[in-house]
Amino acid sequence: MAECNGNIKDVLTSDFARRIYAQVRDLPIIDYHCHLSPKEIFEDKPFENIGQMWLAGDHYKWRLMRACGIDEEYITGDKSWKEKYLAFCDAVSRSPGNPIWDWTAMELEKFFGVTKLFVPENAEEIWNICNKKIAEEKFSPRKAIAMSNVEYIATTDDPCDDLKYHKLLKEEGYGVKVAPSFRTDNIVNVGAPNYADYVKKLGAAAGVEINGYYDFLQAIKNRLDFFCSMGCKFSDVGVEGFPSFTNLEKEFECEPTPPPTRRERAEYVFGRILKDDIVYEEDEDVLREDLYVFLAAEYAERDMVMQLHLCVTRNSNYEMLDKCGRDAGFDCVGENITISSLRQFLNEATCDGEPYTIIYSLNPTLYYELITLCGAFRNVVPGISWWFNDHRRGITELLNAAAELSSIDSLVGMLTDSRSFMSYPRHDYFRKILCEFLANVTPEAAEKYAVRAARDLCYNNAKELVEESR
């Protein structure tokens, strides 16, 4: 039976790198951006088997299976968990070089002590070993969290969410802090067909009757206050594109004499949306601009962190969107946004270094422009490698660019961005890659400084952001 010699174990190539890693290996995890379900954490139902534990909701794995030509019935369809598990094993064995090869090896070893290669000839044995442990130890979401030494989890929540399960976890006194994040996709996605319906839903959640734009802004404030009362420290947005921040110089489509300010234009456009009148795309952009700037000011007032996830294309396969819904593995790397637009936004939205802002790019070709732009503003930092860049080369590429163009110690550090409770070994994956990188760029005589940087990126920088006051 082949033993596991997963490539990730070969990352630390020197005693220097291993010494740095020894100083961060056991640090707690601050997972400041993920998509875990607070309901599942609260209910803490034991998993049925390794197939369910691994594959339920994890679109990273679903994408890999589709790339290998596996039929959808083995992915999101009605096949049994064992059949899906075996199909996933087949996909992994055909995909050396994909980070999921390393992640599965690390997850099997971390949670189940399995060091066999995850390949078809070992699949049956691994299935039995894992399921035996799941049954005997009642392996559940909280057990996975505890085994991973997780200290803080920031989930991703719509502003209309009642945060019922965050409240229940808080009342219970659960030892891991599970806090909501204020995800504004539905607020700023003003061109969506059901946008007016969402506005009504937000008003109901906020206790505000929305008859105009200022009512809408007040509803957003009310929801922000509620989220902050539940421990929210992070906001987030991850829609396609970015406001142009050039519209004040262009002709306003809605009426011959344009209002003089962006806020007045936004108010006018919002009113037309509520009336279901025709609104041109360029006019919608004015509303988005005002909302982005308004939200940034509100975050600053509440000492929240603003996260911008940029350069993503959502739901690229329309047929599969109809069949599987959103967040099912059909997003992809998007076109780069214009740095001039982002620069204008930062000039309008950040004042005296507030709000603290993390900007991620899913398109790595934007790194140089993004990192140098962040360096022109205090407390605006590039986000760590995200999603399709969460592999060894992608992480190293971002670390190289950040080190060469800025200070590597400005990065907040790793996040899972995952819906799977099995994903926490990705933090260890990052830590090994980081320590190897630091060993290669730091003189051994300066080891204590390499260790300081490693500890900051693996724990301290994120910890500082989640403290009640900064």
Mean pLDDT of the chain: 93
Convert the pLDDT of each residue in 219-233 to its tens digit. Answer: 999 999 999 999 999
What's the pLDDT score for residue 4?
A: 45
| Statement to judge: residues 168 and 132 lie in one domain | no
In a domain, 3, yes or no: no
CA distance 144 to 150: 9
Q: What is the pLDDT of residue 24?
A: 98
Per-residue pLDDT, 255? 54
Judged against a pLDDT cut of 50, whether residue 420 lies above it is answered with: yes
Instruction: Kindly state whether residues 26 and 97 are assigned to the same domain.
Output: no
* 376 and 454 assigned to the same domain: yes
Domain co-membership, 306 together with 346: yes
* Percentage, residues of the chain above pLDDT 90: 86
Q: For 8-19, what is each residue's pLDDT tens digit?
A: 667 999 999 999
Q: Tell me whether residue 15 is in a domain.
A: no
- Looking at residue 9, its pLDDT comes to 63
> Domain of 352?
20-38+148-466
Is the pLDDT at 2 greater than 70, yes or no?
Answer: no
Residue 154: pLDDT over 80: yes
> What is the model's pLDDT at position 327?
81
Residue where a domain stops, chosen among 115, 139, 163: 139
Same domain, 344 and 287: yes
Co-location of 89 and 236 in the same domain: no
> Is the pLDDT reported for residue 5 higher than 80?
no
The string of pLDDT tens digits covering residues 350-372 is 988 899 999 999 999 999 999 99
Do 236 and 331 reside in the same domain of the chain? yes
Residue 12 falls inside a structural domain: no
pLDDT higher than threshold 60 for residue 249: no
pLDDT tens-digit readout, 94-151 = 999 999 999 999 999 999 999 999 999 999 999 999 999 999 999 999 999 999 999 9
Task: Give tens-digit pLDDT for 309-319.
Answer: 999 999 888 88
Last residue of a domain, one of 91, 113, 139: 139
**pLDDT, tens digit (0-9, with 9 covering 90-100), for 441-451:** 999 999 999 99
**pLDDT at residue 3 in the model:** 43
The pLDDT value recorded for residue 470 is 44
State the average pLDDT over residues 27-56: 96
What is the domain-level CATH number for residue 75? 1.10.2020.10
**What band does 329 get if pLDDT is binned at 50, 70 and 90?**
confident
- Does 4 reside within a domain? no
Q: What pLDDT, on the 0 to 100 scale, is given for residue 382?
A: 97
Q: What is the pLDDT of residues 185-222, one digit of tens each?
A: 999 999 998 999 999 999 999 999 999 999 999 999 99
pLDDT value for 325:
85
Q: Are residues 243 and 355 in the same domain?
A: yes
Q: What is the CATH number of the domain that holds 372?
A: 3.20.20.140
Mark which of 139, 162, 177 sits at the end of a domain. Answer: 139
Instruction: Say how many domains are in the chain.
Output: 2
Domain annotation covers residue 219: yes
pLDDT at residue 248, as a whole number: 54
pLDDT band at 260 (very low <50, low <70, confident <90, very high): confident
Give percent of the chain with pLDDT exceeding 70.
95
